[in-house]
């Protein structure tokens, strides 16, 4: 069927590419400590990209059947489209990237329900009046791509995830704790998630007040994900760079960040949900260094952006549900350092630990700003966590914050499938608080 669409498209256009993605996902969803809903989602998307008279056109559909309309729509939009500066990839060998475990499909629904019940039982045994929401999801997707230069790719991916969020309300005080874990293998235990949540509950037993001034800060892996990652992703996006809207766009090879900081994009790690053998344009996956010992090493490109920037695609062309490809990270990895989390806390006379920052994505991300309310964070006094802070706001800019890092943690972990990071210990962040 895809072959026929390609054939039809080539009657009207010089180059063409057909991309299909089909997914099937099942989730057990728990609310108020009980199983509430089981849901199954099936979806197929077909996308056709053509290059006609040197310009790009594209269209999407949800059914393979109606190829005439798909081809007509793609050809119609090509008259307005951007000049295509690239060639679609010819046949190429892809790296071996393991992302499919057939065992995911055969996990019985009862077993996924059991995992959710187990998470809730563990947390409510520790804190009886907590109200938990939980999700256990699993699914598979299959991707296939064909282009007119003979390039073709296809792979299957499986995914499995656990999510837990707890709310503890006392008078008008609300505490939110939460953790998640994901893999391409079935997850069989819940201890990683529940240990993290119990740890958060323990540290939040007491309340503490942060003074309104500049304080040293430790970002936990969740804290890193909710604060500095969005500005970093924007800054390393080849498109932002091409437009001159990335503060580091002309800093290639220059030491912009602390020498201790190493960051790369890695779509090749085995059985990680962000991994794949090739990107959504059929360019082979590669590990791309972005920050090497503090210096800017590369930016992320898809085919079109790379052509305009006179460079090569890094295999980061990504389509969300069939839209035109755009550069996007697969998974960011920050290299671990040499200080344990416990040593970081011991090292601080007075400071903050940030576990969840709320609203950091709402400011001037392009400029590197992140500013938000500390939804979950702890006060440190004389080398010890003394309690949870509230009504506290932090204000930072990644180009100031990451220029000088006190230490990078030695314990690294995955957050939400798109980031692997250790804790980061930074010397100073502006804090405003209400007493």
Partner 1 sequence: MTNIETVSHQLAEELKKHHADYIEARLEENQTSHITYRGQNLEAIGRATTSGGNVRALVRGGWGFASFNDFTDLAGKVALAVKQAQLAGSEHSQLAVLAPVTDQVPWEQDRNPVTIPLAVKKQLLDEYNEIIWRTPQIQTSTIGYADSRKKAIFLSSAGSYIEQERADVTLRLAAITAKNGDIQQVGLSLGSLGEFSAIEGLHQQVAEMAQRAVELLSAPQVTGGEYTVVLDPVLAGVFVHEAFGHLSESDFVYENAQLRNIMRLGTQFGGKQLNIVDTATIPGLRGSYKYDDEGVPATKTYLIREGELVGRLHSRETAAKMNEPPTGNARAINYRYPPIVRMTNTYIEPGDTSFEEMIADIKQGIYARNWYGGTTSMEMFTFSAGEAYMIRDGKIAETLRPVVLTGNVFTTLKNIDAISNDLDMNQGGGCGKGGQMPLPVSNGSPHIRIRHCLVGGK
**Rounded distance between C-alpha atoms, residue 28 and residue 34, angstroms:** 10
Nearest approach, Cβ of residue 323 and partner 1 (Å):
7
Find out whether 357 and 223 touch, Cβ atoms under 8 Å.
yes
241 or 348: whose CB is closer to partner 1?
A: 241
Distance, in Å, from the CA atom of 426 to the CA atom of 215, rounded to the nearest integer, reads 9
CB of 384 to partner 1, least distance (A): 25
Rg of the chain on CA atoms, in Å? 24
Task: Please provide the DSSP assignment of 386-431 as one string.
Answer: EEEE-SEEEEEEHHHHTTS-SEEBS--EEETTTEEE--EEEEEEEE
Beta bridge partners of 15: 51
Nearer to partner 1, 373 or 412 (CB): 373
**Residue 335: what are its φ and ψ, rounded to 5°?**
-70, 140
Q: How far apart are CA 159 and CA 187, in angstroms?
A: 10
Q: Which is nearer to partner 1, 297 or 366 (CB)?
A: 366
Report the nearest approach of partner 1 to the CB of residue 395 (Å): 4
Residue 40 or 188: the one with the smaller Cβ distance to partner 1 is 40
The whole-angstrom separation of Cα 279 and Cα 12 is: 26
Nearer to partner 1, 295 or 410 (CB): 295
In order, the DSSP letters of 346-394 are HH-SEEEEEEEEESGGGS-TTTTEEEEEEEEEEEEETTEEEEEE-SEEE
Q: Directed axis angle between helix 2-9 and helix 67-78, to 10°?
A: 40
Nearer to partner 1, 44 or 298 (CB): 44
CB-wise, 107 or 113, nearer to partner 1?
Answer: 113
Q: To the nearest whole angstrom, how small is the minimum distance from the Cβ of residue 434 to partner 1?
A: 5
As measured in angstroms, the least distance from the Cβ of 280 to partner 1 is 14
Nearer to partner 1, 43 or 312 (CB): 43
- The sign of the torsion formed by the CA atoms of 360, 362, 367, 372 equals negative
Min separation Cβ 243 and partner 1, Å: 4
Shortest Å distance, C-beta 30 to partner 1: 10
CB atoms within 10 A of CB 216: 18
How far apart, in whole angstroms, are the C-alpha atoms of residue 355 and residue 410?
17
Minimum CB distance to partner 1 smaller for 68 or for 346: 68
Q: Counting beta carbons within 10 angstroms of the beta carbon of residue 361, is it exposed (0 to 12), middle (13 to 18) or buried (19 or more)?
A: middle
What SS3 class is residue 13? coil
Provide the minimum distance between the beta carbon of 111 and partner 1 in the complex, in angstroms, as a whole number.
Answer: 12
Q: Please, what is the minimum distance in Å from the beta carbon of residue 63 to partner 1?
A: 7
């Amino acid at each position: 069927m895809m072959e026929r669409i390609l054939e039809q498209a080539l009657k009207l256009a010089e180059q063409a590419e057909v991309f299909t993605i089909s997914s099937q996902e099942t989730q057990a969803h728990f609310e108020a400590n009980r199983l509430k809903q089981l849901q199954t989602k099936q979806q197929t998307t077909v996308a056709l990209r053509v290059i006609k008279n040197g310009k790009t056109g594209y269209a999407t559909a949800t059914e393979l059947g109606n190829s005439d309309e798909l081809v007509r729509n793609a050809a119609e939009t090509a008259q307005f489209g951007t000049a295509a500066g690239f060639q679609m990839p010819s046949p190429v060998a892809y790296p071996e990237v393991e992302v499919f475990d057939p065992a995911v499909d055969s996990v019985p629904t009862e077993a996924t329900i059991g995992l959710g019940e187990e998470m809730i039982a563990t947390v409510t045994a520790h804190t009886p009046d907590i109200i938990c929401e939980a999700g256990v999801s699993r699914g598979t997707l299959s991707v296939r791509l064909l282009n007119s230069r003979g390039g073709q790719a296809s792979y299957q991916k499986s995914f499995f995830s656990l999510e837990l969020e707890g709310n503890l309300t006392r008078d008008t005080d609300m505490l939110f704790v939460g953790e998640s874990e994901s893999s391409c293998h079935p997850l069989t235990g819940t201890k990683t998630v529940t240990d993290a949540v119990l740890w958060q509950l323990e540290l939040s037993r007491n309340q503490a007040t942060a003074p309104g001034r500049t304080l040293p800060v430790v970002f936990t892996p969740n804290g890193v994900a909710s604060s500095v990652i969005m500005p970093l992703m924007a800054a390393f996006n080849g498109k932002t760079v091409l437009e001159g809207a990335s503060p580091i766009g002309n800093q290639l090879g220059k030491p912009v960040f602390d020498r201790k900081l190493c960051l790369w994009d890695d779509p090749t790690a085995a059985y990680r949900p962000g991994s794949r053998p090739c990107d959504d344009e059929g360019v082979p996956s590669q590990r791309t260094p972005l920050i090497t010992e503090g210096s800017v090493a590369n930016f992320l490109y898809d085919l079109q952006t790379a052509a305009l920037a006179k460079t090569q695609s890094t295999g980061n062309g990504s389509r969300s549900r069939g839209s035109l490809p755009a550069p996007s990270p697969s998974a960011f990895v920050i290299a671990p350092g040499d200080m344990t989390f416990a040593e970081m806390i011991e090292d601080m006379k007075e400071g903050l630990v940030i576990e969840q920052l709320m609203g950091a994505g709402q400011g001037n991300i392009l400029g590197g700003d992140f500013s938000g309310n500390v939804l979950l964070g702890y006060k440190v006094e004389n080398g010890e966590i003394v309690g949870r802070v509230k009504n506290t706001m932090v204000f930072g800019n990644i180009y100031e914050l990451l220029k000088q890092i006190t230490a990078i943690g030695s314990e690294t972990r995955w957050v939400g499938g798109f980031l692997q990071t250790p804790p980061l210990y930074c010397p100073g962040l502006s804090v405003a608080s209400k007493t």
